[in-house]
Amino acid sequence: MKPSAVLWDMDGTLVDTEPYWMHVETLLVESYGGTWTHEDALQLVGNGLIDSALVLQRYGVDMEAQAIVDHLTDAVVHRLRTDGVPFRPGARELLADLRAAGIRTALVTMSMRRMAMEVVDLIDFAAFDLVVAGDDVARPKPFPDAYLRAAELLSVDIADAVVIEDSPTGIAAGRAAGAVVLGVPHIVSLDDADAHDLWPTLAGRTATDIIDLHARLAKEVTR
């Protein structure tokens, strides 16, 4: 049996935008006289943008939280437009193969919708049936709201869906929603993140691998 849908995280899973985010965070903190290290940036991976803005305020950024979100989003969108979409290894190929296999797909991200749509619009095929973004739900990951919303809009049972994530926060959201959760580590370790399965990379993976994963784990998740 095929999964009813595959629900993709965006930053760090589909595309490698985390270096973009870390760069613009660093510039913003430094503009207020603060210091922002790589280790500081890691604590924001997978978080909702408002939650991330509150952390940046504690590091000295004297701006309203929504203004921080808008500033960071504008800066990352500019990088996407000028430098292109940096796909994670194997992600574009797997996404295209899922579409060819007739499996529905959704992008489920805590980035703002306008940024998510920039990424979607730069993909050279019809990649997703829908997008659920951070400003579409009341509660960010690790709450399950975004994944449950995607399943609702697709009219599928979340237990019949596969979630692909690269962060402990995102994995927690997928688990809380009740999906089969695949972790693909990128910047942070997922060893203790409780994904149903871990793949070191999506490179070389196909729709058949996702179908097999779902067939192997769906009963366990339902139980």
Torsion of CA 199, 169, 94, 129, to 10 degrees: 160
Q: Among 9, 145, 160, 166, which one carries the catalytic annotation?
A: 9
Instruction: Kindly report the CATH number that applies to the domain delimited by 18-83.
Output: 1.10.150
Residue pLDDT, tens place only, 149-193:
999 999 999 999 999 999 999 999 999 999 999 999 998 899 999
pLDDT, one tens digit per residue, over 14-31 is 999 888 999 999 999 999
In this structure, CATH architecture of domain 5-16+87-222: 3-Layer(aba) Sandwich (3.40)
For CATH 1.10.150, list the domain ranges present in the chain. 18-83
Average pLDDT, the chain: 94
| pLDDT score at 220 | 73
Concerning whether 166 is annotated as a catalytic residue, the answer is no
Question: What is the mean pLDDT of the segment spanning 195-206?
Answer: 98
First-to-last alpha carbon distance for the chain, in angstroms, is 17
> Scanning the structure block, which residue is given the tokens 């292109």?
84
Angle at which helices 49-58 and 18-31 cross, to 10°:
30
Which regions of the chain carry the CATH code 3.40.50.1000?
5-16+87-222
- pLDDT score at 223: 57
* Model pLDDT, residue 160: 96
